[in-house]
Structure 1
Amino acid sequence: MNKWFAGTMAFLFISAANAADFPVTIDSCGTPVTFTQAPKRAVIHDLNMSEMAFALGLQDRIVGLTGITGWYKMTPEFKHHMGSIPELAPKYPSLE
């Protein structure tokens, strides 16, 4: 779960950066992870991470959401921002 969170956070912070700011290395649960370029696609987990991505206008880079309808009732505004982005799992994502 922590890797999903770290990946999501990295995507949100890195996606707004210039190409000149790469490579960048972040700490993910004690393991360094290096990004050579901004992620082009991401799966976002949880409502608050999704709302941050929407606020940053990153819908075109989101290929899926998880952890929304299994825990929360979506507002009309959230549904609008979600558009056609699929929810891949209502709660926690799995490898299935």
Structure 2
Amino acid sequence: VRNCGQEVTYDGAPSKVVTNDTGITEMMFALGLADRMAGYVIAGDNKGTDVSTSPWKADFERLPKLAEKINKEVVQGAGADMVFAGWGYGFSESTGFTPDVLEEQGIATYLLTETCRNGVGKQRGVMPPLEALYTDLRNLGAIFGVSARAEELIAGYQRQVAGAEELVRG
């Protein structure tokens, strides 16, 4: 798949993914991939957070919350074969937790498209937000062999957006 402007190849579908952030984790759940996860990392105690009101609350409760801050040790401790995070959503040069560091340890990464750097310093954003969401769903669908589910989700979201635009137009 193409991720942040680079062609990335995965050796089969990952089976022990660690995610960082509620929205990233929910993307995996929406695609039906909870069984491919080792756990998730989210700041806070989950009470009164987006997790408690998430449509995927049961998935959050079933999987282990690994930590409140992602780092190399958390990922290694979970036996992760892939980390799904983003720049500013876990990955950071200042903490030393980067895709390159994980790659050196044989751990694959997938970067949230909305956090891809656009080539101007460390600025993020290479496409409009909804296009970034659809790109991530398609890429994850390809990586995990659930492309049909990804396309169903995208079509549903596109219908919702079209409906909202219609309401705005009156």
| TM-score interval, smaller chain | 0.5 to 0.7
Report matched runs for 1:70-81 at 5 Å.
73=49, 74-76=51-53, 77-81=55-59
CA contact (8 A) 1:65 1:86 kept: yes
Q: Which residue of 1 aligns with 2:38?
A: 63
Structure 1 unaligned regions, length at least 5:
1-24
CA contact (8 A) 1:66 1:87 kept: yes
Q: Which amino acid counterpart does residue 37 of structure 1 have in structure 2?
A: G
Please identify which structure carries the higher strand content: 1
Please identify which structure carries the higher helix content: 2
Sequence identity, in percent? 30
Report matched runs for 1:1-96 at 5 Å.
26-27=2-3, 33-69=8-44, 73=49, 74-76=51-53, 77-90=55-68, 92-96=69-73
**Partner-residue secondary structure (3-state), 1:48:** helix
User: TM-score normalized by structure 2?
Assistant: 0.34
- List, as ranges, runs of 4+ consecutive aligned residues in structure 1 with deviation greater than 6 Å: none
**Partner-residue secondary structure (3-state), 1:35:** coil
Q: Which residue of 1 aligns with 2:80?
A: none
Q: CA 1:68/1:52 → structure 2, altered by over 3 Å: closer, same or farther?
A: farther
Structure 2 unaligned regions, length at least 5:
74-170
Q: CA 1:27/1:81 → structure 2, altered by over 3 Å: closer, same or farther?
A: closer
1:54 Cα deviation (Å)? 0.8
